[in-house]
Chain A
Amino acid sequence: MIHYNKFTLANGLRVIVHEDHTTPMAVVNVMYDVGARDEDANKTGFAHLFEHLMFGGSVNIPEYDEPLQMAGGENNAFTTSDLTNYYIQLPAENIETAFWLESDRMLSLAFSEKSLDVQRKVVSEEFKEHYINKPYGDVWHKMRDLAYSTHPYKWMTIGKELSHIEEARLEDVKAFFFKYYRPSNAILVVGGHVTLEQVKVLAEKWFGDIPAGEKIPRKLPVEPPQTAAHKLEVKASVPLDALYKCYHMPGRVEKEYYAVDLISDILGGGASSRLHQVLVKEKKLFSNIDCYHFGTLDAGLLTIEGKLVKGVKMKDAEKAVQLEIDKVQQEIIPERELQKVKNRVESMLAFEDMELLNRANNLAFYELMGDAELMNKEFSNYEAITTADLHREAQQLFDEKNSNTIYYYADK
C-alpha cells in the first residue's frame, strides 16, 4: 500500500503528497497531461522538443539547472505519446528550491530564440542517434505508420521527420505552452522526507497564483478496428533478417488491458517464456525474440519482434511464431503458467515501488489515468484474471485481421 494525501489548489493544480521519512531526500514530480498524441500531424515531435525548451530559462529565472545543482539536486524529464513528465530529486532540506523552479516555469517560460535554435539542433542529433544512425532504427516509424490509419500514435514521440523539428517557430512554442502547460492540466507529486502541512504551504505559496488556464477537452481521432492484415517488406543495410508483428490491443485504462498484459508476459517475459523457449532454445530459428507493449493510454500495440538465425527463411520463422500464437489463441493457458505471470507482476511492482522516484512518478501517472488510488488497486486487477479471460482476449487480439507485419530483410 502506498499512502498519500491529495488536495487541489483553486487554480485546478492537483497535488499529491507521499511522505516517506526513511530517506533524507525529497522528490518533486510534475506531470503535464500532454504528449505526442496531442500534436498537429504537420508539426510532429513538438511535445518532445518543447520538453527540451522547458530547461531554457523561465520568466523570472534565467537558468533552470544551476540553482538546482547548487541545492544538491538532480533532475530530468521525459515525453511519451501520452504525457510529459519532469522530476527533481534533492536533499529534503532544500525542497523549496524545487517549488521555486517548477512554479516559475509553469508561470511562463523565457521563450528565447537562442534556446529554440540550439534545442532544435540537439533534438535533431537525438533523432539521428536513436532512429537513423542505428541498425533497425527506423522500424518503429514504419510500424506505426503501417498499424495506425487515423490515431496520432501514427507518429513517434521524436517526430515523423526531422524537418518538423527544424521548422518549429517561437510562436508555436508560445501557443503550445499557454494551451497545455497550465495548472489545470498538471499534477504535482511531492514525496520523501516532507510533511503534508509543509507541502500545503509551499504549494499555495509558489503555485497558488498561477492562472488556471482552460482544461482542454481531448478530441483525438479514434482508430477504427483494423479489417485486413497489413504487411510490409523492408530491405536495409543490416546484418540479420528481422520479423516484427504488431496487434492492436486495449488502452491502459480499459479493463481488458490486464489480461493482454499477462499474455505478453506469457509469450515474452523472462527466460522461461514461450517464445524464447520454443523459438530460440528448441527450434533455434531466432537469436532473440521478445514480446512487449508500451502501455499506452489509448489503444496500443502488442509487439513480437525477433532476429532470425542466419540462414533461416522468413517464411519458416513466421510460421513458427504463428504456431505459438495459435496455441495461445486456441488452447487454455495452464493455471500454473497464469500463476507464474501473476507472481512476476507482483514482484515487478514491489521492486518498482522501492525507489521513491518511481513511487512519485507512478502516483502522478495513476492520477492522470483518473485516480491515484488506482495504484493501490493495480495488483488486484491482475489477481482477478482467470485463464478464461486470457482465452477470450487472445481470441480477439490475435485475429489475423488485427495483425501488422514487417519483414525486415538484410541487404547484405
Chain B
Amino acid sequence: MINRKIAPEIKDAVDFDITLKPCEKFTLDNGIPVYVVKSDEQDTLQLELVFPGGSWFETENLVASATNFLMKNGTSKHSALEINESIDYHGAYLNRTSHHENATYTLHCLTKHLTQLLPVLQEVIQDPTFSEEELGTFQQNMKQRLAVNLQKCDFVANRHIDKYLFGEFHPYGRVSTMDSYDALQSQTLLAFYKQHYTYNNCKIFVAGNLPANMVTLLNQYFGTTKWNGETNIIREQLPILPAEEKKFRIFNDENGVQGAVRVARHFPNRYHPDFSKMLVLNTIFGGYFGSRLMSNIREEKGYTYGISSQIYNFRQSGAINIHTEAGRDVCEATIKEIYKELHTLQQELVPEEELHLVRNFMIGSVLGDLDGAFQIIQRWKNLILNDLDENYFYNNIRTIKTITAEELQQLAQQYFTPEDFYELVVI
C-alpha cells in the first residue's frame, strides 16, 4: 500500500534552467525589421504587423482605435465584404488591436493558405479607404455596445479607476463616450492612418511553420516600396493629472446585487528596478489562485467569485490595481480585508514556505508560457517593442529565484501604504 499522506518528491523551481528560445531577425529590402520564431510541428503560422498607432498618438479621442478597426473595412479595390470573404474562405483570422502605444494587425492561418492571403493583408495595410458608410455603421454599433457596457458595474469601475489614476485627458485615463464616437470623421482617420501606418514605422513578427520562400514573399508584399512614405513619429511624455480625492462610491444601478470594487495606486514602469520585484510581491498578494486576497476573501469569507491584483505595465507609468466584484452588502468589508492584507505584508515577513511556493509557481508558469512558437514570439515582441533584450527576461527569472522575504517586506513598506491608494465601489 502506498502512503497517500506523503507528497511525491518534486524538482524545485530554482533547479529549472529556463531559456528563451532565440528569435531570428532579418530585414526587408526597404528596411522593415522582421523577427522570426520557427517551428515545424504544426501547419499553422502567425504574422503580425505592429505600428506606433496607439491612443498615445491621437489628438482626438478614439481616432487611433477607429482607424485600426476600419482599415479592414474596405480598400480602393475591394469592399469590406470581399475582404472578409477572402479571409474567411481560407479559414484565416485577421485580428486588429490598438492599445496605448501600438496598433497591430495579426494574421493566423494554415501555412498552405499564406500565399493567397498576403495580397489581402497588403491591401488592408497599404490601401484602406475609410468610407463614410463604414464609419457610420461603426459609430452606431459602437455606441450601442457602449450603452450596454455602461450598465455593467465592472466596466464603469474600470473607466473610473483609470481616470482617477491618470486623469481623463491622459491616454491611460481617457475613455470612450457617445460624443467622441459622434465626432469621428473619415478624413481624420485617413490622416492618422497616413501618419502612423508607414513602412518606416512597421515591425513584423512571424512565428510557426513558415513556407521556404517566406523572405521573398514578405519582400514582395511589404518590402519593395516605401509605402505611405516616411514619417517621423515623436513620442512625448504627457502630463499625468491624478484625482485629488481618493475615495469614491458610485451608484450605477439601484437594483445591483454586486458592487465592483477597485483599490489602486501608481507604480513605476517596467524600467524601474522595483518592477520585477513587485511582480513577486503582487503574486503573493493577489496574483494567483492561492494568493493572500483569494485565500482570505474568497476561500475564507466567500465574499466574491474571484479577486486579484494586477500590475499595469504601461510605458510611461504603471499602477497596481486590486479588482473584484463582491456581494453588494460585503463591498465595504472586502475593502477592509484588502487593507488588512496590505498591512500584514508591511508588518510581517512572508514565511519561507509561502515564498518557496510562489517561486515554484511563477517559474512553472513561465515554463508553461514559453511553450510553442506563438508564445515565444510574444515574449520577444514585448521585449523588442519596449526597447529591451533577453537580459531583461533573465533578470526577472533571477529575481523570482532569489528575492528575499526582507526585500519583499521593504517593498511592501514602500508601496503598500493605505493612504496612497484610490478606492472605488460601483454598485
Contacts and interface: CB of A to CB of B under 8 A. Distances in A.
Interface string B9-48: 1110100100000000000000000000000011110000
Contact of B140 (A284, A344, A353, A354): A284
Contact of A100 (B8, B140, B325, B363): B8
Contacts of A89: 368
B288 to A, nearest CB: 7
Given A205-B2, A287-B140, A272 B88 contact: yes
B144 interface: yes
B172 interface: no
Nearest to A73: B364
Interface stretch (A59-67, A224-232, A392-400): A59-67
A356 B80 CA distance: 35
B11 A135 contact: no
Contacts of B150: 239
Contact of B367 (A22, A91, A126, A287): A91
B257 interface: yes
Interface in B365-406: 365, 367-368, 371-372, 374
Given A72-B367, A272-B81, A121 B303 contact: yes
Main secondary structure of the interface of A (DSSP, over half): helix
A347 B258 contact: no
A354 B374 contact: yes
A100 B299 CA distance: 23
A240 B148 contact: yes
B80 A22 contact: no
A97 B7 contact: yes
Interface in A128-176: 128-129, 132-136
B89 A354 contact: no
A337 to B, nearest CB: 9
B242 interface: no
Contacts of B308: none
A250 to B, nearest CB: 24
B44 A354 contact: yes
Contact of A343 (B13, B89, B253): B89
Contact of A72 (B1, B80, B363): B363
Contact of B42 (A91, A284, A350): A350
A122 interface: yes
B364 A347 contact: no
A69 B361 contact: yes
Nearest to B298: A122
Interface string B307-344: 00000000000000000011100000000000000000
A25 interface: yes
Contacts of A71: 10, 360, 364
A48 interface: no
A353 to B, nearest CB: 7
A288 B140 CA distance: 11
Contacts of B108: 351
Main secondary structure of the interface of B (DSSP, over half): mixed
A366 interface: no
A124 B304 CA distance: 9
Contacts of B109: 347
Contact of B302 (A121, A273, A355): A121
Interface string A96-123: 1101100110010000000001111111
Nearest to A125: B305
B91 interface: yes
A135 B141 contact: no
Contacts of A6: none
A10 to B, nearest CB: 16
A346 interface: yes
A281 interface: yes
Contacts of A134: 152
B288 A69 contact: yes
A22 B42 CA distance: 11
Nearest to B356: A70
Nearest to B94: A271
Given A281-B137, A288-B141, A347-B91, A128 B258 contact: yes
Going nearest first, the 8 A-B pairs with the smallest beta carbon separation are: A72-B364, A121-B302, A347-B91, A96-B8, A272-B84, A271-B84, A343-B91, A60-B4
19 contacts: A22-B41, A24-B367, A69-B360, A71-B10, A72-B360, A72-B363, A91-B364, A121-B301, A122-B305, A125-B305, A133-B258, A237-B151, A238-B151, A270-B87, A277-B84, A346-B110, A351-B44, A354-B374, A356-B371
Given A22-B41, A122-B305, A239-B150, 17 more contacts: A69-B288, A74-B365, A90-B364, A91-B11, A107-B4, A118-B302, A124-B327, A132-B257, A237-B253, A239-B144, A240-B148, A272-B87, A281-B80, A287-B145, A288-B141, A350-B43, A355-B372
